[in-house]
Amino acid sequence: MKNLRRKTLAAASAVTLGVGLALTGGLAPAAAVGPDTTFLVLAPQGATTDAAAARVAAANGTVVASYHQIGVLVARSANPDFASAVKGAGVESVAATTGLGSALDEGETVEVSAADAAAASGDPTTEPLYGQQWDMPMIGVPQAHAITTGSPDVVVGVLDSGISSSHPDLASQIARDKSTSCVGGVTDTTEAAWNPTTSDHGTHVAGTIAAAINGVGVTGVAPGVKVAAVKVVNDDGYIFPEAAVCGFVWAAEHGMQLTNNSYYIDPWELNCRNDARQRPVWQAVQRAIRYSQSKGVLNVASAGNSNYDLAHKITDEGSPNNGTPETRENLTNACLDLPAEAPGVVTVSAVGPTGDKSYYSSYGQGVVDVTAPGGDTRFRTQGTRSTSTDAILSTTFNTATRTNGWGYKQGTSMSGPHATGVAALALSAHPGMTPGQLASFLERTAVARSCPAGVYNPVPLIPTGPHAYDAACSGGARNGFYGAGVVNAYNAVK
């Protein structure tokens, strides 16, 4: 029986996002007072939130954010009976988000120092650290840049831990007027709010998408486009469902054509819509994703780093990862990895320098749409030790010293932004595509890769055990490891 196991990656990345809150809201006077708690309150699909808001007030709660476009309220209350009291006409479902937080697995960032700046020429190969970016030629970036580096009219929302606005490779790339913090489910557009505080994960992701060709550091896949910081990770390293809802709606309302989502929502890697504890979260996130798609946004998400077959869910015994794990058996396709398995979302697995599946990458026939470089630091030694230069080099921000730099991370968190960058180039070269058309185009221009024969495991000598990363690939030209294939920037723009 296949179990879902968490994997901690050697050279950074695996992102698991759960939920964390830092809001203050007026507390209604209540006879009984409990801890100040945050809730998602959902109105019936298509209904206004007016009745739900009235019920929140009557239950001694405060609405701190209203996403009326999708019928979702973020409320706070110290009433210990709030969840039952708020139910009734105008409220479809309600869920407290307390305890749903999971930490962003930051892993290790291996920092490098930049060489002397080269003269900016519009050629990515002249960037000082380009020689260490094995991922860019793998997906045809130099050839693509001879045609286009992307249009500044294309804006990519990076739903993550913030972007360093002072980074020399990113300062000119950020759409400041479209950036915000969504921590707690409430927007804050001040620059300090959407800059990183305790994590450089979002800065690394943003660099892979759009680091400038400026004679400094590295190049991004689409250095001509803009990125917007949509911060969804709080200072304690958590993301709540309400932050993700806020992020998708913000992107929809601010003219973004793409979002990159290198995380999963909830401490359960699989969010089950038939589980009463999780259904309101599933509903709220689904509504937000659908709304963003209706506004022309294509959402790209990472498949995950558990070496898990998402097409054959059986048992999850490692969740939630923020408390005592529960064993959930006989799982079905009602349980999804969100946002990766939400309808219309492009799901990306990871490959290493050889083009083979990264040992940690999750997979699944009919789930993975495309694959992209995410790094694999263990394949050279069959798992015994790491080789950092086989990870992905991008922009970093040292949160201890508050300094910008460059460094290596690995994970499907890194493969996702490669696919997002290629999609941004495609939309720049061929404007006007709908999210569905763009997703299909990304797949059609990918380079197909066949399944390896037999049981696949590039790291049999890893200390966790010889079979810890066994995986079986199914399918033909489109398969569970690679989907339609490795994204290709040149094919997407020519």
For residue range 85-135, list pLDDT tens digits in order.
999 999 999 999 876 665 666 657 899 875 554 566 778 998 999 999 999
* 218-230 confidence digits (pLDDT tens): 999 999 999 999 9
Both 249 and 392 in one domain: the answer is: yes
pTM of the shown model: 0.89
Q: Using an 8 Å Cβ cutoff, are 126 and 215 in contact? A: yes
Verify whether residue 116 is a known catalytic residue: no
Catalytic residue chosen out of the listed positions 93, 135, 145, 160? 160
Mean pLDDT of the 315-344 span = 60
Q: Using an 8 Å Cβ cutoff, are 168 and 352 in contact? A: no
Both 122 and 52 in one domain: the answer is: no
Both 49 and 135 in one domain: the answer is: no
Mean pLDDT of the 263-268 span = 63
Instruction: Find where tokens 């030790």 sit.
Output: 385
Both 73 and 121 in one domain: the answer is: no
- Residue 248: both structure tokens together: 């998708």
Both 251 and 341 in one domain: the answer is: yes
CA distances from 416 to 260, 371, 431 (A): 7, 8, 21
- Asked whether the predicted pLDDT for residue 316 surpasses 70, the reply is no
CA–CA separation, 297 and 435 (whole Å)? 6
Range of the domain at 287: 3-18+104-493
| pLDDT at position 333 | 60
| pLDDT at position 22 | 27
In a domain, residue 228? The reply is yes
Strand intervals (E) in 50-173: 61-67, 72-77, 93-96, 110-112, 155-160
H or E segment and range at residue 409? strand 403-409
69-94 burial, b at 16+ Cβ within 10 Å, e below that, comes to bbbbbbbbbbbeebbebbeeebbbbb
* 362-418 confidence digits (pLDDT tens): 999 999 999 999 999 999 999 999 999 999 999 999 999 999 999 999 999 999 999
How many structural domains does the chain have? 2
Both 208 and 70 in one domain: the answer is: no
Q: Using an 8 Å Cβ cutoff, are 418 and 372 in contact? A: yes
CA–CA separation, 190 and 179 (whole Å)? 9
| pLDDT at position 100 | 65
CA–CA separation, 191 and 211 (whole Å)? 19
* CA-based nearest residue to 264, from 196, 325, 336: 336
Contact partners, residue 110, CB within 8 Å, separation at least 6: 11, 12, 388, 391, 407, 408, 409
| pLDDT at position 341 | 84
H or E segment and range at residue 294? helix 279-294
Catalytic residue chosen out of the listed positions 167, 201, 204, 418? 201
Where residue 59 sits, what CATH number does that domain have?
A: 3.30.70
Verify whether residue 164 is a known catalytic residue: no
Both 58 and 12 in one domain: the answer is: no
Is residue 26 very low, low, confident or very high in pLDDT (cuts 50, 70, 90)?
very low
Domain end (from 96, 128, 144): 96
Catalytic residue chosen out of the listed positions 413, 415, 418, 428? 413
Both 89 and 211 in one domain: the answer is: no
In a domain, residue 23? The reply is no
In a domain, residue 122? The reply is yes
Verify whether residue 292 is a known catalytic residue: no
Both 279 and 400 in one domain: the answer is: yes
